Amino acid sequence: MSKKIKQIFIAGLAVTIPIGLTLYVLFFLIEVMDNLLLIIPHRLHPDTLLQFHIPGLGIIFVVILIFAAGLMMKSYLGNRIVQMSEAIFHRIPVIRSIYDGTKQVMDRMFVHNNRSFKKVVLVEFPRAGAFTLGFVTGPAHRRIGKSTGRPCTNVFIPTTPNPTSGYLLAIPDEELVEIDMTVEEALTYVVSCGLVQPPSLEMRPGETAAGQKIY
């Protein structure tokens, strides 16, 4: 009886925890966005005009703000303002590094319409004989290849369960191992700590799998 109760409780946790975390993050984002409305003068604030609070108005405000910034970038005056702002940022050492790095990432993700991660590979990390998933971000800098004497590829090794942090490695091309997995499947695998496997990788009992060298 106690075993059955335990199983029911665990099944309930499996359902409620993902839903609870999702709602928590959603409400947190709504609260953060709504706090941005504080920059609006009190007499023009939506809560003052409507005489009651509507959760989520901050999201609409941010969307309008982003759209307005996009429209401004299409005009000559908007471009001049951005150029002047960039010139100011470039004169401040710390701000310059943060701004340039963020701008390059955003340009690569949205402006140039390129996928950040090209493909998924297996690499020996953190020691020989132990493999981990990595995301190819592009060819390594030519100076790296010149220093190592071998062509290398930039591979991002994510941490689990938080894939937003990790390690950037320049790995010789011949050491990369191809794996039949999409970027989305690999991210799900990493976030779930290996608990959720893509259907294409699920193996029958006793079956083994081996990667294939891509070079």
Domain map (residue ranges) of the chain:
119-213
Q: Write the CA distances from 211 to 14, 200, 203, integer angstroms.
A: 32, 14, 14
Task: Identify the pLDDT of residue 43.
Answer: 84
The side-by-side arrangement of strands in the sheet containing 166-172 is 166-172, 152-158, 131-139, 119-124, 177-178, 212-213
Give me the pLDDT at residue 168, please.
92
In this prediction, residues 32-46 reach a mean pLDDT of 85
pLDDT grade for 214, boundaries at 50, 70 and 90: very low
Q: What pLDDT, on a 0 to 100 scale, did the predictor assign at position 50?
A: 84
Whole-angstrom distance, CA of residue 195 vs CA of residue 15: 15
pLDDT classification of 203: cutoffs 50, 70, 90: low
Those residues whose C-beta lies under 8 Å from the C-beta of residue 204, and which sit 6 or more positions away, are none
Tell me the two tokens of residue 174: 């011949």
**Helical pair 2-35 and 57-73, crossing angle rounded to 10 deg:** 50
pLDDT at 215: 41
**Whole-number pLDDT of residue 211:** 46
Query: What is the arithmetic mean of pLDDT over 11-25?
Result: 87
Could you report the per-residue pLDDT of 90-115, keeping only the tens digit for each? 888 888 888 877 777 666 655 554 45
pTM: 0.51
Q: What is the mean pLDDT of residues 4-10?
A: 84
Q: Give the residue, 29 or 111, on which the prediction is more confident.
A: 29
What rounded mean pLDDT belongs to the chain? 82
Q: Is 206 left (phi over 0), alpha (psi -120 to 50) or beta?
A: left
pLDDT at 198: 67
Half-sphere exposure of 39 (CA within 13 A, CB side): 8
